[in-house]
Amino acid sequence: MLDSSPHVAETPAVAEIDALHVTLRRGDQDIHAIRGMSLDIGPGEILGLVGESGSGKSVLAMSMLGLLPGDARTSGRCLVHGDDMLSAPAEVRRRRRRSSLGAVFQDPMTSLNPTMRIGAQVAEAAESDEEALRLLKAVGIPDAHRRMGAFPHELSGGLRQRVMIAMAVAGSPSLVVADEPTTALDVTVQAQVLALLRSLRDQIGCSFLLITHDLGVAARVADRVAVMYAGRLAEMGPTGVVLREAAHPYSLGLLGSRLSLGSSRTEPLATLPGEVPDPTRPPAGCPFAPRCDLVTDRCAQEPVDPVEVAPGHLSACVLPIEQVRGATEKAREKEGAPPAGTSGHPAGSSTQPQGDVAVDVRRVVKTFWVKAGRGRKQRLAALRDISLTVADGESVAIVGESGSGKSTLLRVIAGLEHAGGGEIALGHGVRPQMVFQDAGASLTPWLTVGDLIGERLRRERMSKPQRVERVAAALAQVGLPADVAGVRAAQLSGGQRQRVALARATVVPPKVLLCDEPTSALDVSLASGVINLIGRLRRELGMAVVFVTHDLSVARIVADRIAVMYLGRIVELGDAEDVVHHPRHPYTRALIGAVPDFGADPPALPGDPASPLRPPPGCSFHPRCPIAAEVCADPDLHPRLLGIGHGQVHQVACIRTEVL
Amino acid sequence: MIQLVSKRLGAMAVIILVLTAVVFALQKASPFDPVHSMLGPSASREAVAQQRHALGLDQPLPSQYWHYLTALLHADLGMSYRTRHPITADLATFLPATAELALFALVLALVLGTALAVATTLRWRGAGVLRFVLVAGASTPAFLLAIGGILIFYQLLGWLPATGRTSFTDAPTGPTGLLTLDGLLAGRPEVTLDAMGHLVLPGLALAIGPAVSIGRVLRSSLVGNRRTDYVRTAMAKGLSEGSVLRKHVVRNSLGPALSMTGLQIGLMFAGVLVIENVFSWPGIGQYTSLSIPVGDFPAIAGVTLLLGAGFVAINTIVDILQAVADPRIDV
């Protein structure tokens, strides 16, 4: 897939974007969202458009669909089959959307009408019920006939996104704009959806503009990759070339800060310094210049247009490509020997919990009663007999897909939920502190950062100047200047908010820090910074950390040990490196296979994660398991974690491990 | 669905039961002595005692309440002290006029509210004027609006009648009791037209406040819904603006407007009492305002129960409609 580019440059492009500028009005400010983009999409091509939040990639998508807000100011052209989606009359644009374009958006829950049946929604695009049914079958919706009558909330996330895709490809469009189509999905489902997109391209021959923040996603399916930064094209070329021989310093930075299962655990993750420029005041020169290590005097003067550095490979950098590559290699060599103590991990990660116990979870059970349609209540077994010990200063990651119970476990440890059975002992009796995924929502909007952090000092007797000093010290510890204390959360960027949340959690150093997906809402370069910070805080303050994440590559970096959860049970537990590189449970193996990585492309795990409302009997994973035997479905089977290898630190709950 | 409806109906029965208890308690706590109201101040001590016994007022309270409830189940609300008729019969006489006025006002409120919401959402020409007129109307007390309406449209212009339901002395009295309908059924369209004319002023005075409340709620949910992801999806499908609005925006905006309508009907019942007096409308409102000064408590209690039960019934229907409109609602 990486090297096949069946598209000859001479064939007429499906879409041509030429010198596109888009300025949006927000309040009384101009947002310069796109500032000169040119690109073509060939017939049957999958173009991966990669960029961080604020790069303008979604605005580009709306431009192609002709759906920019009415007050947007545009220049340049955005042609789809010869019609300019910027300037053509509304009726022409609408007909283009109807006949030639399809769209898939990020969140399939909100992108489907909640009060309209699936079949009716697809039929709106497909013109008839028969065609809608055929499309639903074509995108792999099991039992499609019955699902036609279902409402969106009755489907799983993966199925909803398949419904969106069915609507997008209705009427055989020539271009489908897919804006972050897999970001809201679990990894195993993401792999399925990406495979579906590619097979639809092969069957229908339509082109895809696949917008994503994740280079790994683009690497998996795109023929070509375009990297956007601050409204401009940074680099574009065949996928393999951009990933292996990137020519733009920003692409190199993005590639460098991207976590993979092979990232080094013994040194701090590479991060991009600084943040994306303010779109209301874009810089005159190269927008990446303020964050670039190789910046020269020429960079800041005038915008740099993309130039061809190799056939079909464009890069917008004034420096010769040899200089860019040479500099990154040099930087890499210099990083080869990290100064002692910068690592997020004690040397030689200990797997045997040492010292006192910080958190002891023993046979914990948690059951919710949820409304299950028409007034009935249903049992949701969120945690089914969980035991886990975290030693003082140890970091344990809990990995699982949605519905695995990982967040519930964290909330039970935090004391935010009562366990329905079993015991939870905290070694020091002190309440742990918690950091959440959405830092914006977890910071009270009308309080200043100083108030938010100072709140936790209320119990300690101290004068006001002392308190101000403590707050400033806490901010300094998370790498924020002291004057941040005076602002409110809304004025901060996502990365800064997460740092404030960490400062609040650590101003009185807790013995245990609980993190619920603290990096999954952040861009890659910022996420790396937050992960480095958590590692440093943990070491400096001697905290134990329990880190919930859906991302195995994050888990491997932050944790000494990894616990993999599936439907309320821990199915594998062991040393982080062991679990990732020598997984024993078939589910862990599937999870690792589904992590989008360059070059790797194992077959996707079939099926959706089963619902915790109806966990399958026996081993809950058996319906999706490639090595399941008849006994695995036995309702009397309760797979227990059993040690394997010497030391028995690596534990697996599978009765079929000998098959592997 | 069946479960939902039965659950709502059960809740409705409980609320009405509580309402009867409250009304009963108020009756007992009120300073008016029903026996004195009936017999007058000069009645003899024996006559009073005899009447007390006849009314069952010498029994303990729980048993009085029990008798009250069983009578209610037989549609027996007692006798009015003032008219000396069974209250059920009185209500049957006066209810149709009020029902016609309230229904007309409700339809008017819905039409005006929807017009306000749609016009301001789509920024139609003249939306500003409509909004100004309605909001100004809604910020004026209903009785003032009514008096102003009479001064302008009756006295000054002479376009509309100011009092009563009809100008005919031989207007049909059945079968529905609603003059607009009865006129048509009796083959006398002139009666219907005349009744409509009588309805305009009191109807408007009642409807403008609720219209603005309903319109505002509807507008904010229309605006909110137009920004949703699924509307973006519908636009991306290449549907026309009209069908996006009809199929995706409007239906999802109805829920909040429906609950607001349910609440406004309650306020409208209260408004009816005042408006009927201003327009000499021969309905429940007038009946009540004649009953209050003479302490005709059975009549007041009857009206309270009737309007209360009506309000609860309407809000039960609103709840059920909301569940029909939104499949995610599960009460």
**A233-243, pLDDT tens digit by residue?**
999 999 999 99
**Is A3 a residue whose pLDDT tops 60?**
no
Q: Mean pLDDT across the stretch A44-64?
A: 92
Supply the pLDDT for residue B161.
84
Q: Mean pLDDT across the stretch A249-265?
A: 84
Q: Using CA of residue A274, residue A276, residue A279, residue A283, what is the dihedral sign?
A: positive
Interface predicted TM-score (ipTM)? 0.80
Q: Choose among A67, A112, A373: nearest Cβ to B330.
A: A373
Supply the pLDDT for residue A428.
76
Contacts of A151 in chain B (CB under 8 A): 327-328
- CA-based nearest distance A350→chain B, Å: 47
Whether the CB-CB separation of A167 and B237 falls below 8 Å is answered with: yes
User: B112 and B59 share a domain?
Assistant: no
| B192 in any annotated domain | yes
Supply the pLDDT for residue A336.
45
User: B154 and B227 share a domain?
Assistant: yes
Domain boundaries, position B146: 87-325
Residue spans of chain B under pLDDT 70: 37, 329-331
User: B69 and B98 share a domain?
Assistant: no
Supply the pLDDT for residue A375.
57
Rounded CA-CA distance A607/A624 in Å is 6
> Which band of pLDDT confidence, cut at 50, 70 and 90, is reported for residue A10?
low
Query: Which of B44, B73, B102 is at the close of a domain?
Result: B73
- Residue A101 backbone class (left: φ over 0; alpha: ψ -120 to 50; beta: rest): beta
User: B315 and B263 share a domain?
Assistant: yes
Whether the CB-CB separation of A102 and A206 falls below 8 Å is answered with: yes
> Which band of pLDDT confidence, cut at 50, 70 and 90, is reported for residue A439?
confident
Top mean pLDDT of A335-344, A515-524, B216-225, B316-325 is at B216-225
**Is A508 a residue whose pLDDT tops 80?**
yes
User: B185 and B91 share a domain?
Assistant: yes
Rounded CA-CA distance A555/A564 in Å is 10
User: B213 and B317 share a domain?
Assistant: yes
Rounded CA-CA distance A295/B45 in Å is 109
Contacts of B6 in chain A (CB under 8 A): none
Query: What CATH number should be reported for the domain holding residue B99?
Result: 1.10.3720.10
Q: If we measure between CA atoms, which residue out of A459, A431, A438 comes closest to residue A501?
A: A438
> In this complex, is the C-beta atom of B63 within 8 Å of any C-beta atom belonging to chain A?
no
Rounded CA-CA distance A404/A564 in Å is 9
Give chain A's mean pLDDT.
Answer: 86
User: B296 and B226 share a domain?
Assistant: yes
User: B123 and B52 share a domain?
Assistant: no
Q: Which residue has the higher pLDDT, A555 or B124?
A: A555
> In this complex, is the C-beta atom of B158 within 8 Å of any C-beta atom belonging to chain A?
no
| B79 in any annotated domain | no
Rounded CA-CA distance B281/B102 in Å is 12
Supply the pLDDT for residue A523.
82
What radius of gyration do chain B's Cα atoms show?
24
Residue given tokens 């400096």 in the structure block? A540
- Global pTM reads 0.80
Q: Mean pLDDT across the stretch A42-64?
A: 92
| B331 in any annotated domain | no
Q: Which residue has the higher pLDDT, A143 or A657?
A: A143
Query: Which of B73, B102, B120 is at the close of a domain?
Result: B73
Q: Which tokens is A501 given? A: 């949340």
Q: Choose among B4, B229, B233: nearest Cβ to A375.
A: B4
User: B22 and B144 share a domain?
Assistant: no
Rounded CA-CA distance B266/B260 in Å is 10
- CA-based nearest distance A341→chain B, Å: 47
User: B58 and B121 share a domain?
Assistant: no
User: B253 and B127 share a domain?
Assistant: yes
**Domains contained in chain B, number:** 2
pLDDT tens column, A165-184: 999 999 899 999 999 998 88
CA A298 centroid distance within chain: 35
Element (H, E) at A642: strand A642-644
pLDDT tens column, A568-624: 999 999 999 999 999 999 999 988 888 877 655 666 677 777 778 888 888 989 988
Supply the pLDDT for residue A402.
83
Q: Mean pLDDT across the stretch A237-260?
A: 89
Cis bond upstream, residue A6 (ω within 30):
no
Instruction: Give me the percent of chain A exceeding a pLDDT of 70.
Output: 92
Q: Which tokens is B52 given? A: 């007390």
Tell me which residues of chain A have a C-beta less than 8 Å from any C-beta of chain B. 65, 67, 94-99, 101-103, 105, 107, 110-116, 124-125, 151, 153, 164, 167, 170, 177, 371, 373-375
User: B24 and B105 share a domain?
Assistant: no
Contacts of A102 in chain B (CB under 8 A): 236
> Which band of pLDDT confidence, cut at 50, 70 and 90, is reported for residue A48?
very high
> Which band of pLDDT confidence, cut at 50, 70 and 90, is reported for residue A659?
low
